[in-house]
Amino acid sequence: MADNISREDILTELFNVGVGQAASTLSDIIDKRIGLTIPNVRILDAAKGKIELNKYLLNVAEGAVMVSSISFDSQLEGKVSLLFPADKMHHFIDLCLHETRDEFENSLEFTDIDFDTIKEIGNIVINSIIGELSNTVNIPVEYTLPDIDVLNDANAEHFVDCEDYRLVLMMFLAFDIEGTEIAGAIVINMTLNSLDDILNKIDKLYNGR
């Protein structure tokens, strides 16, 4: 158990380094002060992962989310999903684009331009997390550009696959653009073997085991 907590702490630190770089890149692009933090990373089995994710979907996103996701393979195998509450996304996109729109502020209708904006943000954030992880444990990861989707009645089943002895890395992402905060979530659903590889490498790196 003690090992488990320290692994989660190490992952939290690793991912925060990654999102810190993502925040700096995004600030450079949109020319605004951006804060990105991951309070903690939790390693959960698929069943617990689903319970935690459903809490987020119910309480923060009210079931409607904008999802940016990629599948990765090579030595590590799994899927990363970056989730945002869909009803906050028009405001979020407007902040990124320095625009203001009055109409349909809370609607769930998005244009291709909106999707492309989130695709770029997703690309930067996911790149930073997976890139940092891949670099640290020195395991190459291959993936494509993220797919963007809006799900109206999302539940954990969409993001967590119970097959193949999969585990879930679950973390919340606090996105702050000049004082406007948006609570996102990141779900990494990967095979037990992949996570074992990562954790073993971490153990070797940090504990000399």
Positions that interact with other proteins (CB under 8 A): 21, 25, 28-30, 93, 96-97, 101, 103-104, 111-114, 116-117, 119-120, 123, 127, 130-131, 134, 140-145
Q: Please, which residue, 9 or 73, has the CB nearer to other proteins?
A: 73
In the bound complex, what is the minimum distance in angstroms from residue 19's beta carbon to other proteins? 14
Q: How far apart are CA 88 and CA 125, in angstroms?
A: 18
Q: Closer to other proteins at the Cβ: 51 or 97?
A: 97
Q: CA-CA distance, 65 to 67, in Å (whole number)?
A: 6
Q: Are the beta carbons of 150 and 53 closer than 8 angstroms? A: no
Q: What does the buried/exposed string (b/e) look like for 171-182 if buried means 16 or more CB atoms within 10 Å of the residue's CB?
A: bbbebebeeeeb
Q: What is the DSSP string of 6-55?
A: HHHHHHHHHHHHHHHHHHHHHHHHHTS-EEEE---EEEEEHHHHHHHHHH
Shortest spacing between CB 198 and other proteins, in angstroms: 16
Min. distance of Cβ 151 from other proteins in angstroms?
Answer: 21
Least distance CB 55 / other proteins (angstroms): 31
- Which lies closer to other proteins via its Cβ, residue 30 or residue 44? 30
**Smaller CB distance to other proteins: residue 81 or 127?**
127
Alpha carbons within 13 angstroms on the beta-carbon side of residue 28 total 7
Report the SS3 class of residue 92. helix
The closest alpha carbon to 133, from 182, 185, 183, 190, belongs to 190
- Measured from the CB atom, the residue of 18 and 184 that comes closer to other proteins is 18
Q: Work out how close the CB of 126 gets to other proteins at its nearest, in angstroms, rounded to a whole number.
A: 9
